A and B are shown apart, each in its own frame.
Chain A
Amino acid sequence: MADTIQAAQAAQRAVVRPKISRDDWIMRSIMVVIGVFLLVAVLLPLYTMMSKSVEDKGGGFIGLANFSEYFSTPALFNSAFNSLSISITTTIIILIVTFIYAYALTRTCMPFKWFFKVVAVVPLLTPSLLGGISLIYWFGNQGVLKELLLGEKIYGPIGITMGSAYWVFPHALMIVITALSITDARLYEASDSLRASKLKTFFTVTIPGCKYGLISAGFVVFTLIFTDFGVPKVVGGNYNMLATDIYKQVIGQQNFQMGAVVSVVLLVPAVIAFSVDRIVQRKQIALLSARAVPYTPKPSRGRDLSMLAFCSVIAIIIIAMIGMAQYAALVTFWPYNLEFSLANYDFDVMDGGGWEAFWNSIEMALYTALFGTIIVFSGAYLMEKGRGFTTGRSILHMVAITPLAVPGMVLGLAYIFFFNHPDNPLHFIYGTMTILVVATIVHFYTVSHLTAVTALKQMDPEFESVSASLKTPFYKTFARVTVPVCLPAVFDISIYLFLNAMTTVSAVVFLYASDTTLASVAVLNMDDAGDVAPAAAMAMMIAYTCAAMRIAHVVLTRGIARKTQAWRHQ
């Protein structure tokens, strides 16, 4: 009798082990698959790259010997300094310009805002190389406005700063516009009623309100420039930067260990910038949660007109950059024969990959958009809405945001080390389209992931509970409710992946093979070989494609909005 009571008490005290349902098994299996994907495509390559930096050529462990060699070689060490100074200078310039431009778009009654918004997006449609190429036509040895430089050369810090500023502008602008859009109109009313001057209001309300946005933009821009390879490659001349050093060490000298060392050096500031940015963004979200009244600007003739003048100058610069690339592409032989022809578009007669490279790029971008969206969105769904594997899910989330801190060059090099190892069972994907797609998905994973997470967080957290109570498997609810409701975010992710896959150079430049050359790489190679005009023409082909996709995306998104407005929040 006493035994049975004790047994019963023991049973009550026993920890309940929930039965694992079919749903749970399916969810967990997919989570494991995505976990393995992220492990193989992110963590293992990075680990291999880092261990390479402490090995000698034979693969023996030599501690920090490579690093001491690096830091005692002035030529190499100088690049770190160059990269830093260029990145800081350009970041400051771009922050000022961006702030005024974004202020004009959000806080004034400047006319033609739509036009300035469209123009600002243009640099996103082209590889970063295009800015460099245009600069050569404007200010290079045979440039039209060469005299403006007063004897200075465009090849070097001036060119890198200008070219970098051009292509990072839209990245910074998006962040600053968001920061300026979330301000609470009531703060301005309060400031007005306290009779604060316009200037005082600006420094006590406007600036603190978008402080985090500006800091965040600063770090994003810094990282982009610090790790960019395209611009310094084209207009850098003999001015060495870290990203070009990796390229030279690996492609030029086949010195993989030193390439790994430079990668680690490149990775450190990128990781710091990334971490600071994450912390800052968390604070920004806290600001957002207040119930703000949207701010509507009032007309002010003087301010609006001076803003119009400023934005026009910026818009003219952007149009001049892309316009010059287009002009150069159409001119038969710069600067001797300025007649228009399509000769430069005859890519098949040049080195660099020909038209095949262009079609490869489109194929690669489509695969990246398709598989990337599937992996990113279902991964984010399981991390956000899955049951069980609580620790595993938060680890996955951490891994998903790591790629943002990894510069493309570093990722590409890490892929060489990892996938080109003969003992790697995945060696077979080396030199194929697959590795280009995987690298590109990983390279742009984080932003896509965060977009998906944001959209999923807006979904009612109880949809999964309701569907379980109605005995409907989670994947049916995923297909019938989650995906349709998140369709705008899904399209945003696809277009983001597509555009970046079309324009990226840094990660793929180490990974393409002769039959998988890409358009952006062809731009690089043609420019390298002196075929600058065809390089411009190819860059413009990328721009057309991206513009077309972007327009298609807008039309599609509008169509969906119209079709679903009955049930989306009115």
Chain B
Amino acid sequence: MDSAAKSYLKIENLVKKFGDFTALRDISLDVHEGEFVCFLGPSGCGKTTLLRAIAGLDIQTHGRIEQDGKDISTLPPAERDFGIVFQSYALFPNLSVERNIAYGLENRKLPRLEIETRVGELLDLVSLRDQGKKYPAQLSGGQQQRVALARAMATSPGLLLLDEPLSALDARVRVHLRGEIKDLQRRLGVTTIMVTHDQEEALTMADRIVVMNHGVIDQVGTPQEIYGAPATSFVADFIGSMNFIPGLVAEKNRVKVGGFALDCDTRGFSDGDAITVAIRPEDINAQDMEHDDNVVDAEIVHLQFLGSFYRAELGGTAFSGHEVEANFSVNLVRRKNIDIGSKLPIRLPSRHIQLYPPFEG
């Protein structure tokens, strides 16, 4: 990320308590101007609470929020500058699409003509020009979602907040709208925060992802950073699939797993430390054996066809009873005639191996 980018939203040491329950523990975060940030995490991780604190809907217990250089920590939602889209869209059912979009404009006492022009622009923006007279109930889910987006953008807010905006839609529409929202955001250049529990959504849409768990931020980074180098085992497990194998640090840049030793970066650990070795199924290799690092003999215990690839469950002395999964291309399986019971050498490339502290228990 461009470090010179201007910070637009600054969150400092945010804590939110609901009675005895602490939903957010000391959250600090900077969001840059024009950036698309996703809050990603399982339900109950505090992502929606953080969004609602930014909106002023549930103001934090401690801590400070600054937007565009102005301290907004204590302000009610109406005095902040944001547009919001909820999972339910919360479209006013008794108002037409046009009136829904015009809702925020009408209160500003703008001339009627100006409102009409602006509503027209917004309808064009979300490609619903001919649907303006309809009521929300007469639209499809995807169209309703776009109306909600247009309504949120009508007053040209500096910050767009999206609370699980795609969760209520079916899979196909969801994929389509992902692209559309991202495209719209890029065109308007509006700083956007989206809350989601769907990793694919976060990976495809966000400039940066904020992974949250139990009220704390586990990692902030670009989709590539989050996927390629998960900072914690939680992030590694939550995003994509990951094999975890317990092991020991044998010496510098060398770890022992079952009966085998693997080369990898051991920064942050000392000799003799118990560790968890992590590698993604798609990073396990069954070809290019000319690099002879971390080559291990394995046996195919189980093979599952998943359409575009096979998922193989690997056994063998190397893994000493731990299930390890690898993705093999259809092509490879056919070419090497891989089947249940096949024995073959596989490679765990050292640059794809992540080390984490051992799991508790």
**Chain A residues in the interface with B (C-beta under 8 A):** 11-21, 23-24, 460, 462-463, 465-473, 476-477, 480-481, 484-485, 564, 566-570
Contact = CB atoms under 8 A, between A and B. Distances in A.
5 contacts: A16-B60, A469-B82, A481-B93, A566-B135, A567-B137
A21 B78 contact: yes
Contact of B76 (A14, A20, A472, A567): A20
B70 interface: no
Contacts of A19: 74-76, 79
A470 B74 contact: no
B73 interface: yes
Interface of B: 12-13, 55-57, 59-64, 73-80, 82-84, 86, 88, 90, 92-95, 103-104, 107-108, 135-138, 151-152, 154-155, 157
Interface centre among A16, A21, A566 (most CB of B within 10 A): A16
A568 B56 CA distance: 31
B61 A16 contact: yes
A247 B22 CA distance: 57
A15 B77 contact: no
B93 A471 contact: no
A429 to B, nearest CB: 38
A567 B86 contact: no
Contacts of B76: 18-21, 23-24, 468
Contact of A469 (B55, B59, B136): B55
Given A465-B55, A469-B84, A471-B107, A485 B93 contact: yes
Given A16-B61, A469-B83, A485 B103 contact: no
Nearest to A569: B137
A480 B75 contact: no
A14 B61 CA distance: 8
B61 A472 contact: no
B88 A460 contact: yes
- Give the 4 A-B CB pairs with smallest separation, nearest first: A470-B104, A21-B76, A567-B135, A462-B90
A465 B94 contact: no
Contacts of B56: 18, 468
Contacts of A485: 93-94
A469 B92 contact: no
A19 B77 CA distance: 10
A17 B154 CA distance: 30
Contacts of A484: 94
A468 B63 contact: no
A20 B83 CA distance: 21
Interface core residue of A462, A469, A480 (most chain B CB under 10 Å): A469
B63 to A, nearest CB: 6
A19 to B, nearest CB: 4
B131 to A, nearest CB: 13
Nearest to A471: B78
Contacts of B93: 481, 485, 567-568
Given A14-B62, A16-B60, A567 B94 contact: yes
A463 B103 CA distance: 12
A294 to B, nearest CB: 21
B94 A16 contact: no
Given A468-B78, A471-B155, A480 B137 contact: no
Find the residue from B56, B74, B76, B138 having the highest chain A CB count within 10 A.
B76
A467 B13 CA distance: 29
B94 A469 contact: no
Contacts of B82: 469
A247 B3 CA distance: 83
A471 B108 CA distance: 9
A20 to B, nearest CB: 7
Contact of A468 (B77, B88, B92, B154): B77
A16 B90 contact: no
A280 to B, nearest CB: 29
A545 B308 CA distance: 74
B107 A470 contact: yes
Given A16-B61, A16-B63, A462 B88 contact: yes
A568 B93 CA distance: 7
A480 B95 CA distance: 9
A472 B107 contact: yes
Contact of B74 (A16, A473, A564): A16
A470 B59 contact: no
Nearest to B85: A466
A480 B92 contact: yes
Nearest to A13: B62
A12 B92 contact: no
A25 to B, nearest CB: 11
Contacts of B95: 480-481
A566 B60 contact: no
B79 to A, nearest CB: 7
B146 to A, nearest CB: 15
Contact of B155 (A20, A463, A470, A567): A470
A151 B137 CA distance: 66
B333 to A, nearest CB: 43
Given A469-B152, A481-B93, 15 more contacts: A15-B61, A17-B74, A19-B76, A19-B79, A462-B88, A462-B90, A465-B84, A468-B56, A468-B57, A469-B84, A469-B104, A469-B157, A471-B78, A564-B94, A568-B93
A463 B86 CA distance: 10
Contacts of A467: 103
Contact of A465 (B77, B92, B108, B157): B77
Nearest to B84: A469
A390 to B, nearest CB: 11
B331 to A, nearest CB: 45
B137 A466 contact: no
A24 B155 CA distance: 23
Nearest to B26: A12
A167 B155 CA distance: 57
